[in-house]
Amino acid sequence: MLITPRVFSGMQPTGTLHLGNYLGAMVNWIELQKTHECIYCVVDLHAITVWQEPAELRHAIRQVTAAYIAAGLDPKRSVLFNQSQVSAHAELGWIFNCVARLGWLNRMTQFKEKAGKDREQASVGLYAYPNLMAADILAYRATHVPVGEDQKQHLELARDIAQKFNNDFRASIVAQGFADGVFFPQPDPVITGPATRVMSLRDGTKKMSKSDPSDLSRINLTDDADTIAKKVQKAKTDPEPLPSDVEGLAARPEADNLVGIHAALAGVGKDAVLRDFGGQQFSSFKKALAEVAVARLAPITGETQRLMSDPGSIDRVLADGAERARAIAAPVMDKVKDIVGLIRA
Ligand code: AMP
Ligand code: TRP
């Protein structure tokens, strides 16, 4: 089993997708389809690490799938499926629970943020979340993982797990025919584009997030044109006109964020946006920003709605993707079991 370049990424089906998800992750996922074998997963097992209302979860799994297809993910070319349909994720997740160390997980900032003050009441799943994420990636021996900036620490943990597995089982890996003693690759994060960290429209120092109580803080992929225009209009800014170069954005988080969003939506760099708008007031810039946002997002919103009117066809896409995912993960899992010393049929 040679290690070939392969892309894997996942998205939680919780709440509605927003501009941060779109620019930080989806755009890169879609672009990578052109050059790589890609596997994209709706990580429903990760979603249930915090409480999900069953009917809403079912809806969200389909909605995220539909949004991805609407945004340009081609389920024929790439593998698109939901995690719980492929048992390799949970199986390898357990094995990694036995490889990763408590000390490693104790350093995870996302757990600290999500668990909050009442850590005793957090689910064990929330704590072990990064181990399952490593399993998602490594069950396919994926080499490239496109994510937003906030997932960097989890990716480092996945690399540590791959390395510890390779070290702990080196002799067995060699005995199984891998002469160089390397079974799992070290997956590389792919964090690129002008918007790897899209910030809240209400506070340029906070990440745009689906859990922010203010809906004005984010642009949802379900917002209509008027709502998008209103949110851009109300976005927090400072009183200065826009600077004429990128250096002028330093220490101006709101301006930096809006210019970055405009650049990413228009498919250009921040410098190009500032060549057009440098020296101008935010009012005219915001009009243009609302226009590109609507032009880019409205077709996705419309197509998502159309796809959601036929849930059966979305379920068929997921079932087909799951079958193809299983076919890739099954031989990897067989080898993992052989390496660890488990007996299989
Ligand atoms: P989540 O919604 O937490 O499952 O995130 C799905 C993907 O979107 C991950 O790759 C995140 O890194 C990315 N993402 C989430 N929020 C943002 C944001 N504000 N800016 C950029 N990327 C983001
Ligand atoms: N933890 C990721 C997030 O919240 C989602 C995720 C789960 C993921 N498994 C993954 C991302 C594997 C990349 C690869 O965004």
Kindly report the CATH number assigned to the domain that includes residue 59.
Answer: 3.40.50.620
- Clarify whether residues 92 and 184 are in a common domain: yes
Find residue 9's DSSP bridge partners.
40
The pTM (predicted TM-score) of the whole model is 0.92
Give the domain range for residue 96: 6-196+310-340
Q: Is residue 204 part of a domain?
A: no
Paired strand residues for 41: 10, 81
pLDDT in tens, 40-50: 999 999 999 99
One domain for residues 220 and 149: no
Catalytic entry in 34, 206, 207, 286: 207
pLDDT tens by residue, 83-95 = 999 999 999 999 9
- By the 8 A CB rule, do 20 and 150 touch? no
Q: Which residues line ligand 2 (CB under 6 A)?
A: 8-10, 12, 43, 46, 133, 136-137, 145, 147, 151, 154
Closest by Cα among 57, 111, 55 to 84: 57
Residue range 37-86, pLDDT digits in tens: 999 999 999 999 999 999 999 999 999 999 999 999 999 999 999 999 99
Q: Are residues 122 and 41 in the same domain?
A: yes
Which entry of 34, 76, 164, 210 is annotated as an active-site residue?
210
Q: Report yes or no on 174 lying in a domain.
A: yes
pLDDT digits (tens, 9 = 90+) for 271-285: 999 999 999 999 999
Cα–Cα distances in Å, from 278 out to 204, 240, 284, 303? 19, 11, 11, 35
Q: Is 114 in the active site?
A: yes
Assess contact for 18 and 227: CB atoms under 8 A.
no
Q: Which atom of ligand 1 is nearest to the CA of 15?
A: 2
In a domain, 101, yes or no: yes
Q: Are residues 176 and 55 in the same domain?
A: yes
Q: For ligand 1, atom 12, name the residue with the nearest CA.
A: 148
User: Is the CB of residue 67 below 6 angstroms from any atom belonging to ligand 1?
Assistant: no
Torsion of the alpha carbons at 236, 241, 243 and 244, rounded to the nearest 10: 140
**Pairwise pLDDT comparison (149 vs 91), residue with the higher score:** 91
Number of domains the chain contains: 2
Q: Are residues 179 and 268 in the same domain?
A: no
